[in-house]
Structure 1
Amino acid sequence: MRTFLLFWFGCLLTIAHAQQGDIHLVFKDAETQAPIEDVTVTVLRTKQNYISNPEGRVSFALTGVSSIQIAHSSYESQSVRSTALKLKENVIFLKSAVNTLDEIVITKQHPQKILKGLIENSVDKLTTPCRLKVYSREFFKRNGNYMFYNDGLLHFQISGKNKDFKNDILVEQNRSIGLVDADVSQDLLGYDLNNIMGNYYNFKYLEPLLEARARKDYDFLIKSYTKNDNYYLMVINPLDPVKGFKDDYTILYDKKKKIILEVSSSVTPNAVANAPEKRSVGARNLYKSNYKNIYRYAGDNEYYLLSSREEIGFERVDKKDVRTEIEVRNYFITTGFSRNEFSFKESEIFKDKALFNLKDKILTDYWNVSGLVPTPEEETIIKNISDEP
């Protein structure tokens, strides 16, 4: 009898282990073995999204069995069953769809006009009303040292259309680590949470490219995207000589659906090198600025912001011969999407610009199931800030 009970209990443990546990994935390029960042992993049973970090890593807990969808704009999509992921660390190699060179696409319309149409159609197609479950993470650096960190689990309820997008924010959990004095808190140039969705849903960062003079300031080029025949890549670079701070842009879009899937930009090195130095007190000399947004399309009723990554660095002139370097790095991951609206009280709506002003509310270790695994370097930064008196 005792032997039978032990056998039966062992079976239960085996079944429980098969149905519940942590899954660790590492994505690598099949040819170069290099880690792949921004791989989207979707657990189809729960509709939960995760995204790989710069080391190509994704970790999540899973109860039950599910198909797992793997997608990246530059690689072939895959689907695996959770039961096949039995190793402590499962390495998945992704293959580029095609290995030929991208070709320049000749169009009857100027690419600027095509971009204008892409933005208008994308804004119209973005799904609203909807609810996004979002994990936000922010690092703050002063004079080369990390001083402050915050993250949070937020719910955005988005309504409206076109230029009239609105959102209400509920903060489920949040934490702030480190102290930021009044002298620098105004320079936390991270997400202004109460207008960020409006900016992303209206593609506000692309507005300079639609101005009339942009044709004189930028070179617009459309290329085939051989890694996926359904996409085109628009590359927009400032013409020399670069005047003022101008970015290099890349915009990946679906050429049939006419919707934007990825947007990235960075201030050109030439712009930084040639920018005149500002010396007046309070002035800011920018030396770094880049961002990347990924939008997920999963059918006509699911088109939304999946992730955003922004980084900015500048030197602030405090007074003569006294300067402060400020850097901020932000991540923004939509882990869950729903068309169902939630109800709330007006008093529950978060109306501040940033989480660092909000009292900590920690119910679970939500950062470990956030959808974005911190790199060892980031974990060290957070620990070091935590250990500061």
Structure 2
Amino acid sequence: MKRTVLLFFSLFFSFTVLAQNGEKSITLKDAETNLPIEDATIYVLKTKQTFLSNSEGNVTFLLTGSSNIQVTHSSYIGVTVRSSALVKTDNVIYLKSNVNDLDEIIVTKQHPQKILKTLVGNSVKKLTVPARLKVYSREFFKMNGDYTYYNDGLMNFQLFGHDKNFKSDILVEQNRSFGLINEEITSDVLGYNLNDIMQNYYNFKYLDPILEPNAKKKYDFIIKGYTTNSDYNVMLVTPVDTDGELRDDFKIIYDSKKKIIVEVSSAISPLSFANVKEKTSVGSKNIYKSIFKTIYRIENENYYLVSSKEEIGFERIEKNKKTEIEVRNYFVTTSFSNHNFSYKDSEVFKDKTLYNKKNVILSSYWDVSGLTATDEEQQIVLKMADRQ
């Protein structure tokens, strides 16, 4: 009898361990609409790895042993699940929205722009440096309706310096690129300039338009509370008059007690589209889409960039034709360390983009990259790889 019990326990224990090991898949959905949730952060406490849900709400990652898994999103109530509960091939987790149009408008003695300047200054000082970010980047390039170029890469960013003098060294572990870029397309539209990208994110450069002295005349600033998180406030900044220029709507979510920014998003204001005039001169650009979002993480004493997403679409006016260009970029920090790592100066990547770098593929790094490709994206990549 004892042998039977021991054998049963051994088999049960082995099954439990195997169930907790290997590839895990989660699909995040809105509890009310059943729609997928994009840009949710999934943090595995055991391995301290970070993942981001894609536009289908999917997240895939590898896990050895059991761990708590935190799921957070600025628009939803966060949850923590045990990896042992993820036993299905596709595990669906429903999140409840915390968005409330009736959230209290906060009246402040200081103008919200001055509060924003304080937030930026304090956030810059609080960001953890020196630090190492292991980052997965992905870029899609579309010209005249056809995807013509793709690249992705797994990189280590060693951050050093301080305040407004942040610097970074980049070591590329693996990378790949497919497709061709038209010779007429200059490198400035290929997306990320890897040499200054961290400086921009760690200095909040994308907020410059609403930090200028005359921005108070061009934009409305409103601060609201968060019903489900009393520590957070949201600042909404919208243009009041575009003067024929394209201007963005901004949303800044911040911790009002720690006075640091946790998320920034922006998109071209519909008011701008309504009032801007189409450019016709050769070499000019008519932008029709511009989306930007960054997420930062507060973890004990550490504060660092988790992810960014940028999309831009524009029509370029040429002498005898118009060229439509769209670029979509993703940037995900898969792991963070506040320690330096050793490397030689000759190993530092010094080009602006991965465009001209020879492919170095040692593993299927994109499958555990922190950002699972959607079915559509996988088909795009396979199609361009076949053209090589």
Aligned with 2:184: secondary structure? helix
**Which moved further from structure 2: 236-245 or 9-18?**
9-18
Maintained 8 Å contact 1:96/1:227: no
Question: Is 1:21 the counterpart of 2:43 in the alignment?
Answer: no
Compute the displacement of 1:178 (Å). Answer: 0.6
Preserved contact between residue 167 and residue 194 of structure 1 (Cα < 8 Å): yes
**Number of positions where the alignment pairs a residue of Structure 1 with one of Structure 2:** 383
SS of match in other structure, 1:319? coil
1:297–1:363: structure 2 CA closer, same or farther, 3 Å change rule? same
- TM-score, normalised to structure 2, is 0.94
Give me the whole-angstrom Cα distance separating, in 2, the residues matched to 1:207 and 1:166.
19
Write the distance in 1 (CA, Å) between the matches of 2:22 and 2:156: 26
- Does 330-339 or 62-71 show the bigger shift? 62-71
How far is 1:273 from its partner?
Answer: 4.0
Judge which range, 98-107 or 329-338, deviates more.
98-107
CA-to-aligned-CA distance 1:82-109 (integer Å, 9 cap, x gap): 1111111111111235867212111100
The separation in 2 between residues aligned to 1:146 and 1:98, in whole angstroms, is 35
CA distance in 2, matches of 1:250, 1:9: 53
State which drifts further: 221-230 or 44-53: 221-230
Q: Which letter does structure 2 place at the counterpart of 1:262?
A: E
Query: Do the aligned partners of 2:242 and 2:275 also contact (CA within 8 Å) in 1?
Result: no
Provide the rounded CA distance (Å) in 2 between the counterparts of 1:271 and 1:237.
10
1:319 aligns with 2:291: no
2:210 partner SS: helix
| Partner in structure 2 of residue 146 of structure 1 | 147
- The CA distance in 2 between the partners of 1:333 and 1:98, in whole Å, is 25
Q: Which deviations, in whole Å up to 9, do the C-alpha atoms of 1:68-127 show, x marking residues without a partner?
A: 122222222222211111111111111235867212111100000000000000001000
Residues 142-169 of structure 1: per-residue CA shift (max 9 Å, x gap) = 0011100000000000011111001000
Moved more, 70-79 or 225-234: 70-79
Cα distance, 1:275 vs structure 2 = 2.3
The 8 Å contact of residues 74 and 228 in structure 1, kept in 2 or not, is answered as no
Q: CA separation of 1:97/1:12 partners in 2, compared to 1, >3 Å: closer, same or farther?
A: closer
Please give the alpha-carbon distance, in whole angstroms, between the structure 2 residues aligned to 1:55 and 1:311: 17
What CA deviation, in whole Å up to 9, does each residue of 1:17-61 have, x standing for no partner? 234211111111222222211211111111011111111111111
Q: Give the corresponding residue for 2:173.
A: 172
Q: Normalising by structure 1, what TM-score?
A: 0.93
| CA–CA separation in structure 1 for the residues paired with 2:374 and 2:228 | 27
CA separation in 2, counterparts of 1:46 and 1:64?
A: 10
3-state SS of paired residue (2:189): coil
CA distance in 2, matches of 1:95, 1:239: 33
Question: How far apart are 1:223 and its partner, in Å?
Answer: 1.0
Are the equivalent residues in 1 in contact too, given 2:144–2:324 (CA < 8 A)?
Answer: yes
Deviation of 1:281 after TM superposition, in Å, equals 2.2
Q: Residue by residue, what CA displacement relative to the aligned partner does 1:358-382 show, whole Å, maximum 9, x if unpaired?
A: 0000000000001111111111211
Match of 2:359 in 1: 360
Quote the Cα distance in structure 2 between the aligned partners of 1:269 and 1:8: 63
The answer for the alignment partner of 1:157 in structure 2 is 158
Name 1:43's counterpart in structure 2.
Answer: 44
Q: Provide the C-alpha distance between the structure 2 equivalents of 1:13 and 1:184, rounded to a whole number of angstroms.
A: 56
Matched residue, 1:310: 310
Note the alpha carbon deviations across 1:246-287, whole angstroms, 9 max, x for none: 111000001111100100111123323432332222222211
SS in 2 for 1:119: helix
1:318 CA drift (Å): 2.0
RMSD: 2.0
Conserved in 1, the CA contact under 8 Å of 2:218 and 2:242? no
Q: Tell me which stretches of 4 or more aligned residues in structure 1 moved more than 4 Å.
A: 6-13, 97-100
> How far is 1:340 from its partner?
1.4
- Residue 214 of structure 1 is matched in structure 2 by 215
Partner in structure 2 of residue 278 of structure 1:
279
Paired residue secondary structure (1:232): strand
Give the corresponding residue for 2:330: 331
Task: Structure 1: state its 5+ residue gaps.
Answer: none
Contact 1:100 1:226 in 2 (8 A): no
Kept after mapping to 2: 8 A contact 1:25/1:57:
yes
Does 1:383 pair with 2:382? yes
Asked if 1 retains the 8 angstrom alpha-carbon contact of 2:195 and 2:351, the reply is yes
Contact 1:140 1:188 in 2 (8 A): no
Give structure 2 stretches of 5+ with no counterpart: none
Question: Which amino acid in the other structure matches residue 324 of structure 1?
Answer: T
Question: For 2:157 and 2:339, how far apart are their aligned partners in 1?
Answer: 12
CA distance in 1, matches of 2:242, 2:173: 48
CA 1:19–1:184: 2 relative to 1, 3 Å: same
The equivalent residue for 2:71 is 70
Following TM superposition, by how much is the alpha carbon of 1:315 offset from its aligned partner in structure 2, in angstroms?
A: 1.1
CA contact (8 A) 2:226 2:234 kept: yes
- Whether the 8 Å contact between 1:316 and 1:326 is mirrored in structure 2 is yes
Q: Secondary structure at the match of 1:182?
A: coil
Following superposition, the deviation at residue 189 of structure 1 comes to: 3.6
> How far apart are residue 241 of structure 1 and its match?
4.9
